[in-house]
Amino acid sequence: MTRSAKAASATMWGKRDDMIVREDLPFNAEPPASVLAAAVITPVDTFYSRNHGPFPDIAPREWRLTVGGSVDAPLNLTYDDLTTKFAQHCVVATLACAGNRRAELLRVHPIPGKDPWEHGAISTAEWCGVRLVDVLAAAGVRREDELHVEFLAPDVAQEARPVQSYGSSIPLNKAMSEEVLLAWQMNGQPLPRAHGGPVRVVVPGYIGARSVKWVTAITVQPAPSQNYFQAIDYRILPPEADADAVAEGEGISLSSLPLNCDILVPTDGERVSAGALTVRGWAIAGDGHSVERVDVSLDGGHSWRQADLRPAASRWAWSRWSLTVDVEPGPLSITARAWADTGVTQPESPASLWNPRGYGNNAWAHITASAI
């Protein structure tokens, strides 16, 4: 695709024309790192878009949601039912794709057929809708341990084996947590089609893949979803596994986001002015944990300085950090690592994390630049 074709496909879906379009159909795009750095709440036109199939086109009046399985009173809800019969709640939450920062894993070893997401498959929005727990309660959910809640959508993924529409699941315990929403608004606007409008699931603290867009069916069931994107994809496989030949249920299923951080400014390869340089980025601890500290190193991790860490907008949002350093003319190597409230920090190298589908890269963030 040419640069102008990429810009056209981005603007067609309401995105900035400088989005880095990874695929046209299904549409996959991330904002440049420096643009992502500009705001705590990512504007809709800048928010990354990650899709496995073409967007369904569902008018709110046509949308229906079934809620069934291990419930005493199955529901069949219209958009009006959902938006008027339940209390409305909003959550500021960061969505991060499990493949964010895959480009660094690709430099360790190739990962055929997977998009080389760089710094931008992560964004933060204010989501408004109803709490999933309220809808499950209205359906008379049986509160038994070990149950799972499956979400299905109508978008068909040609890459799935066999070809099927998108689906996923989360444990019932997480589904009953107040932060999990069925959302129809993003940053105060009706949820755009590219982000799952008219209604999507938002599972704060979990990998983005669990926040199913265009959701039309919810089932409470004894086991995780058998959908390709739960049972086969979005799993950490051992390095020697053949990703095209693994059986259902193999590998580690991804749910909570790992502790992670990234450097957004300066960008990789940028030429900056010598003197005062403000390094900026984000950090997140995953599933409601907090980031307690971010360290920055200009010498490959031999010595560290603490960054200024701003309070997160919510328990479910990234924390933004910055540090102003004085740089001499010449090459620059900048590294960052975050520490969580549990006392853990990030692993040092992407090589130690390499896996055949390129998920979950939470190694120390690292960029090189030069000062002139």
Q: Within 309-328, which residues bind ligand MTE (CB under 6 A)?
A: none
Of 214 and 339, nearer to ligand MTE (C-beta) is 214
- How far apart are the C-alpha atoms of 142 and 221, rounded to whole Å? 10
Q: Name the E strands within 133-216.
A: 148-157, 164-171, 181-186, 189-190, 200-202
From the list 176-184, 205-213, 276-284, 316-324, the region that binds ligand MTE by CB under 6 A is 205-213
The reply to whether 95 sits near ligand MTE by the rule CB under 6 A is: yes
The reply to whether 48 sits near ligand MTE by the rule CB under 6 A is: yes
CB of 333 to ligand MTE, least distance (A): 30
How many other C-beta atoms can be found within 10 angstroms of the C-beta atom of residue 87? 7
- How far apart are the C-alpha atoms of 217 and 219, rounded to whole Å? 7
CB of 31 to ligand MTE, least distance (A): 11
Return phi, psi of residue 308, to 5°.
-80, 115
Computed over its alpha carbons, how large is the radius of gyration of the chain? 21
Among 46, 51, 225, 255, indicate the residue that binds ligand MTE (CB under 6 A): 51
Q: Within 146-185, which residues bind ligand MTE (CB under 6 A)?
A: 153, 155, 166
The reply to whether 124 sits near ligand MTE by the rule CB under 6 A is: no
* Cα–chain center distance at 114: 16
Select the residue whose beta carbon is closest to ligand MTE and give its number.
208
Of 96 and 135, nearer to ligand MTE (C-beta) is 96
The reply to whether 211 sits near ligand MTE by the rule CB under 6 A is: yes
List of residues 6+ apart from 257 with CB closer than 8 A: 96, 205, 206, 207, 284, 286, 287
The reply to whether 213 sits near ligand MTE by the rule CB under 6 A is: yes
Return phi, psi of residue 264, to 5°.
-105, -30
Among 129, 208, 266, 350, indicate the residue that binds ligand MTE (CB under 6 A): 208
First to last CA, the chain: 34
The reply to whether 195 sits near ligand MTE by the rule CB under 6 A is: yes
Q: Give residues in contact with ligand MTE (CB under 6 A).
A: 47-52, 95, 97, 153, 155, 166, 195, 208-209, 211-214
